[in-house]
Amino acid sequence: MTSKCNRRGIKSWIDFVMSYPRTIIGFCILMTVLMGWNIPNIVMDPDIKSMLPQDQEIIRSINDLEDIFGGSELVILSLKSEDIFSKATLRKIQELCDEIEDLDVVDKVMSLTNSFEIKGTRDGFEVRNLIEEFPETEAEREILRQKVADNDLIYGNIVSEDFQRTSIIAVLSLGNGDSRDEEIHQTFTNLKQKYEGPEEIHLAGLPLTRREIVKTMQSDMKALFPYGIALMIFLLIFCFRSWVGAFLPFAVVIMSIINTLGFMAILHMKFTFITMLMPVMLIAIANDYSIHIISHYFEEYKIRKEKNKADIIKTTLLHLKTPVFLAGVTTLVGFLSLQSHVLPPARQLGLLSSFGIALAFILSVTFVPAALKLLDYPMVLKQNRNSGRIDAFLSRWGNFFIRHRKKYLIASALVIIIIATGIPKIVVDTNPMHYYKKTSEIRISNDIIDRYFGGSAQLSILAKGDIKDPVFLCRMERLTDYLEKDPTVTRTISIVDQLKKMNRAFHGDSLEYEVIPETREAVAQYLLLFSISGDEEDLSQFVDYDYEQAQILARVNETSSMSLHKLLQDTREYVRDDLGDENFPAITGIVAVIGELVDMVVRGQMRSLIISIVLVSLICAFIFKSVVGGILSIIPLSGAMIIVFGLMGYVGIELNIATAMLSSIMIGVGIDYTIHFLYRFRFEVQSGLGASEAVIKTLSTSGKGIIYNALSVIVGFTVLLLSGFMPIYFFGFLIVFSITACLLGALTIMPALLVIIKPKFIFKRSER
């Protein structure tokens, strides 16, 4: 496998490291300091739109539409009262509205107290405040209730259908940024505190969600990072019983994290709740190589105490180079396969983690040996008393799976098949609201808005053409009629509704006139009428200044991301087949983003899964110079993967932006155990052992390393269970579960399979 030339190269490299350890350490530290200098430049990005590729049509058109029709972001304040029409509550709403209206970040406020109604009378029509005077008696309140129930712009939108709640909708002015979101949050929270009680007040809206995401990201970073480090140190001390053994892998991880963060800053990448995973990944994975090297060094040291350090280090590195290098390469392949993912944050995480892992690998063969050379021999090196017991356990373990190999393989196959039936049940979820627990304040508030006020998320559709032309308006109406048939759509709003209402009001409130006006002139004159008796700004949200572009808004009750995905697909299809794409060139809005992400999560997952599994099996086939070897190596992994996805289906863990990266990471990390096992097993067979003996020998030598390695990864990832983001929490749970599955696959299925198949690529030479 290794040519002489290669071996000489490595040897001279090791000689170099042994000769100039101080230079190497100094260089590593200097590089880390220089790279770390950039870290403060990294900014956080909580926007769900950043999850999509920025060259996506949807992202471009969201920006276009906001440019034409003004900001579409809302803050909705919902107020629950025993009687929302009581004088005290109405006065409170009025005062709240006045205060909100004066805010710089707010363009416009809609509420019960500033709602108008245009009503047709016998010889004309009236524009009146919905509430001209606060009702005094129950009879007056009943009249008002009736009036509200008749007004479909208010009922179910500003007043809940049970009359228990009312909402104040603040349309925000254009602008963005963390500090603005924070300001919006502060202002509205203060208002809430000021006016709350006895009325119950809830706040919702995208800026508030974004701000919550930033806060959660900050608290996550504060929690995950220190706990991860602490757990790692604890585990290292536990394994090595040595300060050196604990300190060096720790130093490698910290240096690779700092360098990767610096790299991130240089590339102008932002912290999203996905890229935030990078330090945790590195804590869990990047210490692997140095652990292998140090533990082997300790073992060699125990055996040959008389030799000098440089020699021991040399032997260790030469002995380990292939498996450690392979483990590094396959992990890199897994992470790099995330490059094929459709979602930018997954690609970024893949790139960053690969960088960090590659760096950790390099540090493990430069910094670590250099440090070992300089440092004293390990301060504490007690004989691990448990070692014997673990060996005994592992050989019992090996014997068990060899003896019952057929039964075990059939049983595992059955279990895998049964669990596989859960795969079709997997639900895709891309709604940023579901980052949070159902019991979290932000979810509760949002659910209230969804349930009582028809949802806070919108699908916006751009209509392009002669907006004054009744034929074009009819086409728009066909689209809104179509949309309203969709169960997720609670209501649609467009210029068509306004014109129909005006037409009806102009004709003595006669219902038969609630239709699109017949002529272009009539439309033009109604539009002028809005500027005389209505608020023309109300229209600017729906039609542009030249009457060439209009916006249709569909408010959506956020059910599942899959149904939003279906809504998006169906609408696109309907527009394409029935109305013509040229009339409705953009279907966009946050709902479209959520819907589009569904596709991307699924496609990204499939693509990176296939690429990583193919690459990894190719690498294995190459290592063992055998196609069978390549296929065999991925069997335990595939079994583990099926179990993980089946479990997701049965338990109801959604496939989302985070869990969509699972397979690549799992393949990259999980394959290591199989490779280590196969590599050692082949070595033992080639040294003349029979299949069963070789299994037992492999388990008690590499097996231990594999278990320690997997344990350190598992422990490293358990910190994700502390995350405030549900996708990250479940990602952590699943990765722990899947690494365990990979480990068990490598240590149970693999031995059983090897004993049964006796593959040629392992046994041929010994048979000869």
| Site of interaction with another protein (CB under 8 A) | 102, 116, 121, 123-129, 468, 506, 517, 519-522, 524-526, 528-529, 531-538, 540, 544-546
> 204 φ, ψ to 5°?
-150, 165
* Residues 210-242: b if buried by 16+ CB within 10 A, e if exposed: bbbbbebbeebeeebbebbbebbeebbbebbbb
42 or 524: CB nearest another protein: 524
Q: How far is the CB of 499 from another protein (least distance, A)?
A: 12
6 or 531: CB nearest another protein: 531
123 or 162: CB nearest another protein: 123
d(CA 624, CA 650): 37
d(CA 165, CA 262): 50
Angle between helical axes of 704-718 and 726-744 (0-180°, round to 10): 170
455 or 534: CB nearest another protein: 534
Q: How far is the CB of 535 from another protein (least distance, A)?
A: 4
502 or 667: CB nearest another protein: 502
Q: How far is the CB of 505 from another protein (least distance, A)?
A: 9
> 307 φ, ψ to 5°?
-70, 160
Q: How far is the CB of 498 from another protein (least distance, A)?
A: 12
d(CA 301, CA 296): 8
What radius of gyration do the chain's Cα atoms show?
32
Q: Can you say whether residue 366 is alpha, beta or left, with left for phi > 0 and alpha for psi between -120 and 50 degrees?
A: alpha
255 or 550: CB nearest another protein: 550
323 or 534: CB nearest another protein: 534
543 or 602: CB nearest another protein: 543
**One-letter amino acid identity for 323?**
P
128 or 403: CB nearest another protein: 128
d(CA 746, CA 632): 11
**One-letter amino acid identity for 73?**
E
CA atoms within 13 A on the CB side of 689: 15
Q: Collect all residues with Cβ–Cβ distance below 8 Å to 546 and sequence separation of at least 6.
A: none
546 or 767: CB nearest another protein: 546
Question: Which has the closest alpha carbon to 440: 169, 462, 432?
Answer: 432
Q: How far is the CB of 119 from another protein (least distance, A)?
A: 9
Question: Which has the closest alpha carbon to 445: 242, 653, 203?
Answer: 203
CB 18 within 8 Å of CB 373: yes
129 or 384: CB nearest another protein: 129
Q: How far is the CB of 532 from another protein (least distance, A)?
A: 5
Question: Which has the closest alpha carbon to 555: 628, 475, 480, 465?
Answer: 480
CB 265 within 8 Å of CB 39: yes
Question: Which has the closest alpha carbon to 667: 743, 707, 609?
Answer: 609
540 or 701: CB nearest another protein: 540
Q: How far is the CB of 525 from another protein (least distance, A)?
A: 4
Q: How far is the CB of 519 from another protein (least distance, A)?
A: 5
290 or 549: CB nearest another protein: 549
How many of the other CB atoms lie within 10 Å of CB of 266?
Answer: 11
Which H or E run contains 119?
A: strand 116-120
d(CA 151, CA 497): 13
The verdict on whether omega for the bond into residue 198 sits within 30 degrees of 0, i.e. cis, is yes
In angstroms, the Cα distances linking 272 to 344, 708, 728 are 10, 31, 12
d(CA 334, CA 637): 13
Q: How far is the CB of 104 from another protein (least distance, A)?
A: 9
Q: How far is the CB of 97 from another protein (least distance, A)?
A: 14
Q: How far is the CB of 274 from another protein (least distance, A)?
A: 36
Q: Is 33 helix (H, G, I), strand (E, B) or coil?
A: helix
122 or 268: CB nearest another protein: 122
β-sheet with 74-80: strand ranges across: 106-110, 165-172, 74-80, 200-204
Q: How far is the CB of 454 from another protein (least distance, A)?
A: 23
d(CA 430, CA 51): 10
Q: How far is the CB of 531 from another protein (least distance, A)?
A: 4
Q: How far is the CB of 64 from another protein (least distance, A)?
A: 12
Find the distance separating the first CA and the last CA of the chain, reported in whole Å: 19
d(CA 658, CA 345): 9
Question: Which has the closest alpha carbon to 717: 280, 225, 131, 210?
Answer: 280
